[in-house]
Amino acid sequence: MNIVSFFAGAGGLDLGFEKAGFDVIWANEYDKEIWETYQKNHPNTQLDKRSIVNIPSEEVPDCDGIIGGPPCQSWSEAGAMKGIEDKRGQLFFDFIRILEAKQPKFFLAENVSGMLLGRHSEALENIKELFRKAGIGYELSFEMVNACDYNVPQDRKRVIFVGIRKDLGFTYQFEKPNFPKQTLQDTIFDLQENVLPAKETNKTNGSDCFFPNHEYMTGGFSTIYMSRNRVRSWEEQSFTIQAGGRHAPIHPQAPKMEFIEQNVRIFVPGKEHLYRRLSVRECARIQTFPDDFIFHYQNIAAGYKMIGNAVPVNLAYFLAESIKKQLKANEPKQQVLEKVL
């Protein structure tokens, strides 16, 4: 089945669907810092570099599915939480505009859990209704999932919308995963050695890295960062991998931060040398990108941003497999409907 991808980023969602046997024939990404990474890792996909607001629907290829994660900063609990009032939040409407015009068999949209906050309830219901009424309409399924349940070594709560075109005669059912929990030891233990600090002003080490992208951001830690523990042990799963390198979790070689008072913690005295941010490659592993997926950037912050904004590949793969299975299982029903019509 052919699908198209919007707000593709580095392509974590796309890679998961490709692993499940879908063909991502066309993708859209507006951020020029990401283009090289996407194109080199998805050589068979045509990349459109315009903002979605400037893309006429007739220029989007016909497809069986549309996937994407409209920018989430507007809905984030860590951000301003402006939601649909922010221009970035309004990009949902362009996603729906193209969905309405192309009428694929299904769509999948991903966003942060912050959009479930009460202050966004009216906007969220409006988006749901627009999804349901797009074109001939979609049967909408909606659920908050935690990536840690989907073979991803990370606490990461996200909202998933899946729509099935009404004439296909069924509603998508979210399936319960059954994976053992993956820990930091399972995921990044072999990367302890040969990591490099970023060069001056956090520029990349490039080909000097012993392992691709195995370098970490340097610089101080803000009072907000130091307000709570940022260390997970080897036996635990990672904190959420965020899009900002300065907010990357601390490597599990370090002991958990010492509590001083409310909103104040310090690195354990005498152990300060153990506290470094996770490297770009370690973050990529935690997001379940394969090691042969290389991130291209000049400033290391761009590497963290691409990875932190991505959908974990294993989560995307599970959802893609589930959608494919349910589409196939309902093919007889679709054939009956076609005969009746």
Active site residues: 72
Taking the CA atoms of 73, 79, 81 and 86 in sequence, report the sign of the dihedral they define.
negative
**CB count, 10 Å around CB of 26?**
19
Do residues 330 and 29 touch, judged by C-beta distance below 8 A?
Answer: no
Strands 138-146 and 157-165 turn out to be: antiparallel
- 77, amino acid identity: E
Do residues 279 and 215 touch, judged by C-beta distance below 8 A?
Answer: yes
Instruction: Classify residue 56 as exposed, middle or buried by CB count within 10 Å of its CB (0-12, 13-18, 19+).
Output: exposed
Structure tokens at 65: 């599915």
d(CA 5, CA 207): 30
Do residues 46 and 324 touch, judged by C-beta distance below 8 A?
Answer: no
d(CA 337, CA 28): 34
Q: What is the per-residue DSSP string for 300-329?
A: HHHHHHHHHTSPPHHHHHHHHHHHHHHHHH
d(CA 201, CA 145): 37
Taking the CA atoms of 195, 156, 300 and 250 in sequence, report the sign of the dihedral they define.
negative
- 170, amino acid identity: F
Tally the C-alpha atoms within 13 A of residue 95's C-alpha that lie toward its C-beta: 31
d(CA 165, CA 295): 36
